[in-house]
Chain A
Amino acid sequence: MSGLMVEALAVRYGSGRHALAAVDRASLAVADGQTHGLVGESGSGKSSLARGIVGLAHTAAGRVLLDGADLTNARGARARTLRRGVQIVFQNPRGSLNPRMTVGEIVAEAILVHRPAVRAGDREAAVAALLELVGLGAAAAERFPHQLSGGQGQRVAIARALATEARFVILDEVTSALDVSVQANILNLLRRLQRERGLGFLFISHDLAVVRYMSDVVSVMYLGRIVETGPVATLFTDPRHPYTRTLMEAVPRVAMPTGRTLRLAGEIPDPRFPPPGCRFHTRCPLASRDAALMARCRSVEPPSVRLTERHVVHCHAAG
């Protein structure tokens, strides 16, 4: 049972009538040395799922397993030790690096927490090695976060995540705040680190081209649910869920615009009041053409249809 498994995880904010089910029974698996992409629009629950996995958001149901060990139900010191194996890098280094600590202190803290017995001198050497690893150079240790560019800040956040010797890293929109040429540097760095250290990534982004470039497997989220999961090649050439299809066609391409077959109408509904049945039925181009299908989509939750061993879609019209 190697790898990071997420089983039917639910993340809920608030309680009672105002409860917001940000993530509803989401399951996915990140294998060692692989990248699992996660796409979806804002409000689809991508970041809530990420926060649920690392224990920053309260999980109402489901489990997160790291090599078979249950992270969600562990408590105390054991939970902290286990959780160190899954780290997270956020979108904006301006917010994720403590402005009152130097880069060296930020990375050293992660080592201190992970291996308290390490002597100060060795810790300093380890910090220097980590900073070299992410392409910053040991001299960066003396700087404060505000003295770094966005790309450099993101490298520090990556070094911090690796300081605990984590094998899985959740990358939550890590290049969204960066310029494209800087983005290329960070993406190359992540792929190199993955190759060298066998890291598993959960790569969250709204940029489909970047997700395609980085991922081996991709899941698509809509209103808190994963609607389709499949190998990257399949998902980009033969998407089966109508939402995935509209998403793929909305990608701005660096090529001449082509004719479009499926267009997405309307806006993402209020997640506090998700539509019954299939959550996508209010915008679904397939259901809107077919009254009988629509009747089913409106009332019955779509089943999980396994098209191939690794390609799963939740849709009444699939299969």
Chain B
Amino acid sequence: MSRRRRSPTLQTARPFFRAASAWPAAAVLGLLLCLVVAGPELWGAAALKTSIMRSGEGPSADFLLGTDRLGRDLLARTVTASRLSLGLALAATAIAGVLGVSLGITIAFATPRLQAAGLRLIEVLLGFPGILLAIFVTAIIGPGVESSVLAIGIAFSPEFARLASTLALSVGGRDYIAAARVLGVGRVRLLRRHVLPNIAETLTIAVFSTTGAALIAISSLSFLGLGVQPPRFDWGRMLVEGVESFYATPIAALAPATMIATTGLALGFFGEALARAMNPLLWSSADASEADRESGNAAGVTTAARPDLTLSDGTPPLLDVDGLTVTFPAPRGDVVAVDNIDFRLAEREIVGIVGESGSGKTQTALAISRLVSYPGRVAARRLTLAGRDLLAADARALDRFLGTRLALVFQDPMSSLNPALSIGTQVAEPAVVHQRMRRDAALLRAGERMGEVHIPRPEDRLAQYPHEFSGGMQQRAMIAMGLMNDPALIVADEPTTALDVTIQAQVIEVLREINRRHRTAILLISHNIGVIAGICSRVLVMYAGRIVEDVSLATLLVGPAHPYTRALMASVPDVAADREQPLQTIAGQPPDPGRLPQGCVFAPRCDLVRARCRTDAPPLVALAPRHRVACWVAHEPAP
């Protein structure tokens, strides 16, 4: 893996300007900053110069925005006021931030009882509207600039406290905090290195949006006569004066109002872009996406010869997959998740697909179910289930066909079940939707099916909700749901991965019984070779989007032919493994989908590699009856 090292500033600047709103926000704030620095020096005198003769004038060449009641230049005043307005807003935000964040973090790391009390206190404070709280505070300590800043600071602090405590509580539960505690990292360092950097992103956004809000709040206080007192003036004070003559010269109120609104918006957008820039996960999108990529080959299509695999009893195959390819468009060219694979499944057959993350096994299952998510594309020379073309255009008829002939079981049953609906409603639904079965009849059948998957007292359980079921029972309810329409094929994608071993064994047993009783074929996808071995009669081994071996279970266990399959089998400790020997490992890493090797995808990691392997991709062809291998070496005549 090659890593480009960039300077931190450049790393931060890039994602910052990737946000569309960053440029205008930065431009507006830059301009404002210039005004804050230079405004009072350049226009301060003009802003104060009164001329009764020219009071209340509209825009003219002399006064671009006109004049106020005392004949002072409105443009000069608006510009000059920016220093005080922004300064006050920033001061108030600083007070609110320091008070609120300290309070919030203290609460997050307090003892449970203090923590509960503190969180309650924040909720109560948040119940008061901020501006009311600020008026209350100024009423006590008297009107004026200092008191209004303090008042706004205090009034806005509960918002920060809530944000900081919520964020710190969620970060506090992470394992890296736990690891730091076990190391004995002190409290201060824990906060500075582990907590604050991970909540800074959201707090930054809050600081900027609060500055905008504080600007408005202080202007409101000034507007109410509690904030800035004449002769000093901020945008709020100008607004007061402008509103008095709003109908005669509306520009006197509109100018400061526009400044308040523009500044507030710019601060918000700038904060958001800055927060993005602070997140190292966004510094290099290529690196980030590499971590959870779906492997594939962008180098084109291999020419696997179609092996002649007529099923032994002469019946047409239940599932016929030929030349199936799943691609995802990517900036560097299409990522091929599944690369031109072919296999057939007979009725009643239980076939497993094994492979590691990124091997394309899940995308294969999704393609068969027509569930590949946008923008993925599925192409195949042939893709049929029970003789029906699954690539047909008529989506509605296809849905109905798949709804009755194919059942899907996923890894995480909790996220596949709707928590707001009863189990009975959900299990019965396929029959109601696809067979137009009456609800009571469908519920009756749902009860039967749940009994078949060994859910105790199914009639009572129909009315229960998913959270009342354990993980193993939820998974069996999903299987029962799949059985409602008597499917010909069950596609199960890692159905036992989230379950404990004893529960895992129960679910596998249920699948085997269904296969026996209903003659349902099963395509079982798993990374766990033990699970596959417990139920499948045939296994497809996938690597980097291709099927490298199609082999019976017996041959898989005693003598697989592909070097990858052999290495994979040897790397798994089983309960009979020799404890004295190190486990066999596979050198290197699976290929990068953007830089897939020419020829055999496994060649870079293969011990037996030949020159030919690096140039030509081996086709998946028969080595023996019921045994296909995509490997040049395996097909060499024995010496």
The interface of chain A, by Cβ under 8 A from chain B, is 41-42, 51, 54-56, 80-81, 83-84, 86-88, 90, 92, 95-101, 109-110, 113-114, 139, 142-144, 146-149, 157, 160, 163-164, 179-185, 187-188, 191-192, 206-210, 212-213, 232, 236, 246-247, 249-257, 264, 266-268
Contact = CB atoms under 8 A, between A and B. Distances in A.
Given A180-B571, A252-B534, A267-B472, A188 B356 contact: no
A99 to B, nearest CB: 6
Contacts of B610: none
Interface of B: 3, 5, 174-176, 178-186, 189, 193-194, 197-198, 280-281, 287-288, 290-291, 356-357, 456, 470, 472-473, 500-506, 508, 527-531, 533-534, 557, 567-569, 571-577, 579, 582-586, 589
Contact of B505 (A164, A192, A250): A250
Given A88-B179, A212-B575, A147 B583 contact: no
Contact of B179 (A96, A251, A253): A96
24 contacts: A41-B503, A80-B184, A81-B184, A84-B183, A95-B175, A113-B183, A113-B186, A142-B3, A142-B5, A149-B291, A163-B183, A180-B529, A207-B501, A208-B501, A209-B577, A212-B579, A213-B583, A250-B502, A250-B505, A252-B504, A252-B505, A252-B528, A252-B530, A252-B533
Given A84-B183, A180-B356, A250-B502, A146 B567 contact: no
B193 A98 contact: yes
Contact of A267 (B193, B280, B470, B574): B470
Given A113-B189, A212-B577, 15 more contacts: A41-B503, A81-B184, A90-B175, A98-B197, A98-B198, A99-B198, A144-B280, A157-B179, A181-B567, A208-B501, A209-B575, A213-B577, A252-B504, A267-B473, A268-B500
Contacts of A42: 500
Contacts of A268: 470, 500
A180 B568 CA distance: 7
B533 A255 contact: yes
A224 to B, nearest CB: 15
Interface centre among B181, B197, B583 (most CB of A within 10 A): B583
B531 A252 contact: yes
B258 to A, nearest CB: 39
Given A180-B356, A181-B571, A187 B176 contact: no
Given A41-B502, A252-B531, A212 B573 contact: yes
A210 B573 contact: yes
Contacts of A187: 573, 583
A253 B528 CA distance: 10
Contacts of B577: 209, 212-213
A56 B182 contact: yes
Given A146-B288, A255-B533, A179 B472 contact: no
A143 B574 CA distance: 35
B470 A95 contact: no
Contacts of A142: 3, 5
Contacts of B531: 252
Contacts of A149: 291, 589
A41 B501 contact: yes
Contact of B356 (A55, A98, A181): A181
A88 B182 contact: yes
A207 B577 CA distance: 14
Contact of A55 (B5, B175, B181, B197): B181
Contacts of B569: 254
Contacts of A246: 502
Contacts of B575: 208-209, 212, 236, 251, 253
A267 B174 CA distance: 29
A254 B505 contact: no
A158 to B, nearest CB: 11
Contacts of B183: 84, 87, 109-110, 113-114, 160, 163-164
A303 to B, nearest CB: 25
A180 B567 CA distance: 10
B586 A181 contact: yes
Nearest to A143: B3
Contact of B585 (A101, A188, A251, A266): A188
Contacts of A206: 500-501
A209 B5 contact: no
A205 B576 CA distance: 17
A277 to B, nearest CB: 21
Listed from nearest, the 9 A-B pairs whose CB atoms lie closest are A252-B530, A96-B175, A80-B184, A184-B571, A41-B500, A213-B573, A184-B583, A100-B197, A179-B356
B115 to A, nearest CB: 14
A248 to B, nearest CB: 8
Nearest to A212: B575
B184 A113 contact: yes
